[in-house]
Structure 1
Amino acid sequence: MNWEFIRQSIPLYQEAFLLTLIIAFWGILGAFFVGLLVSVIRHYRIPILQQLSTIYIEFSRNTPLLIQLFFLYFGFPRLGIILTSQTCAIIGLIFLGGSYMAESFRSGFEAVPSSQIELATSIGLSPLQSFRYVILPQALAISLPSFSANIIFLLKETSVFSAVALADLMYVAKDLIGLYYETDEALFMLVIAYLILLLPISLAFSLIERRLRFAGFGNTSTLSGK
């Protein structure tokens, strides 16, 4: 193992790590809100929009992110729409992640006991207030394990961004391998970078899940008062 090469390559991985983190943050944040919107449309069965949301989910979940990125980066310019690599990466992550987040929200909404909604109505809460103060908080707590899995999945998917000339972690690793043939060292740094990115998030979500279970959240029998 060439430790001197690794030491000299650290600044390149630091820049790529920061870029990957920024894109992942905005992509996952956007996916969260898209998933919430789509799940609300499906949960309340809003005409026309419900059918469109179903088509979106099926199309998004059944096409690879790499193909979606190619369509954004190489296909859109033929329509007169030119997007930067970073914009394509963020949009692609939102498009893919939104469908997975929507399914997580859906399972959370369906797990909230109907008695909770009836109680909210009986004390005079409007449908919007019931959703905001009763349904949504419980659905978020119930769906937290699914959300954490989706976030980790989307972070791993950032490894394909190099296909649209984005200087992310994978791009730097492949570039170093092509230039210096230091394959082991480049891949070692890549693995370490993704561990630094993913491991704290995984541990943080595990801790939050344990605390929520201890507090009684995420258990439908507790929420229903049984």
Structure 2
Amino acid sequence: MFIKNAIPTFAKALWLTLHLSFFGIIFSILLGFLIAIVQYYKIRFLNTLTQSYIELSRNTPLLIQLFFLYYGLPQIGLKLDSYTCALIGVTFLGGSYMAESFRAGLESVGKIQIESGRSLGLSERQLVFFIILPQSLMVSLPYIGANVIFLLKETSVVSAIALVDVLFVAKDLIGNYYKTSETLFLLVLCYLIVLLPLSILFLLLERHYKRYLG
């Protein structure tokens, strides 16, 4: 009976988690790709700036970043709601991981292939879209998939800034009803419902992409 009654509450919290994760991951991919392009083409000033960002992002926990956004920024007059702080935090953390994934893919493309493309008269845009990106994506895809799953799991810490995600609901139900086993079962089930299909999807995409390019 408890599990049946708790399912709607978990479903609502799971929707918020998915909403946050979806936009956080999309923004992370866009940010990471732009940073990888800057580093690949070694744009002098921006390259130093992006490398500093990556080091800061990867070497500070998401929880600390969220505390800074939610509790620190109001001290200088900038107050953001919980969802906005969580979205910025996930994007800030995810962008650095995605950047490294894209960079690894871009650097895997052989210089000979690029020079061959130039000798055939391809423009820089054509080189990017027809030679560099298709091959780099095959290398980056497994890392991107791992990062997506990592970011989804990392969203569990947003409950620390009073955002009602699945972990927040789980802690609330345990505190109110002392149904620890049942609540943890629903919590694990929520993450399995989301993460298992994603893992399978990225595995299938990777196999398809290798077969397509191979």
Q: Which range, TM-score by smaller chain?
A: over 0.9
For 1:168 and 1:120, locate their aligned partners in 2 and report how far apart those are by CA, in whole Å.
49
Between the aligned partners of 2:36 and 2:16, the Cα distance in structure 1 is 30
What's the counterpart of residue 72 of structure 2? Answer: 75
**Structure 1 residue 133 displacement after superposition:** 2.8
Give the Cα separation in 1 of the matches to 2:42 and 2:31: 16
Matched, 1:200 2:197: yes
> Do the aligned residues in 1 keep the contact of 2:20 with 2:87 (CA within 8 Å)?
yes
1:56 equivalenced with 2:59 (yes/no) = no
Q: CA deviation at 1:6?
A: 0.4
Q: Which residue of 2 aligns with 1:224?
A: none
Contact 2:83–2:163 at 8 Å: present in 1 too? yes
Q: Which amino acid aligns with 2:30?
A: F
**Alignment partner of 1:18 out of 6, 15, 30:** 15
Matches within 5 A, 1:7-156: 7-156=4-153
Give the 4+ runs in structure 1 shifted more than 3 A. Answer: none
Q: CA deviation at 1:121?
A: 1.3
The counterpart of 2:186, out of the listed 184, 189, 205, is 189
CA distance in 2, matches of 1:119, 1:87: 46
Unaligned runs of 5+ in 2: none
CA deviation vs aligned residue, 1:192-223 (integer Å, no higher than 9, x gap): 00000100000011111122222345xxxxxx
Q: Distance in 2 between matches of 1:202 and 1:162?
A: 24
Identity of matched residues, %? 55
Whole-angstrom distance in 2 between the partners of 1:120 and 1:23 = 41
Amino acid in the other structure paired with 2:74? P
SS in 2 for 1:48: helix
Paired residues, number = 214
TM-score normalised to the size of structure 1?
A: 0.92
Q: Residue 162 of structure 1 aligns to which amino acid in structure 2?
A: S
Retained in 1: the 8 A contact 2:138–2:210? no
Aligned-partner Cα distance in 1 for 2:39–2:171: 42
- Letter of the 1:17 partner, please give it: L
Separation (CA, whole Å) in 2 of partners of 1:106 and 1:20: 28
The answer to whether the 8 Å contact 2:24/2:91 transfers is yes
Q: CA RMSD for the aligned pairs?
A: 1.1
CA offset digits 1:54-103 (Å, max 9, x no partner):
11000100000000000000011111111111111111010000000000
Structure 1 regions of 5+ residues with no counterpart? 218-226
Report the Cα distance in structure 2 between the residues aligned to 1:38 and 1:7, rounded to whole angstroms: 46
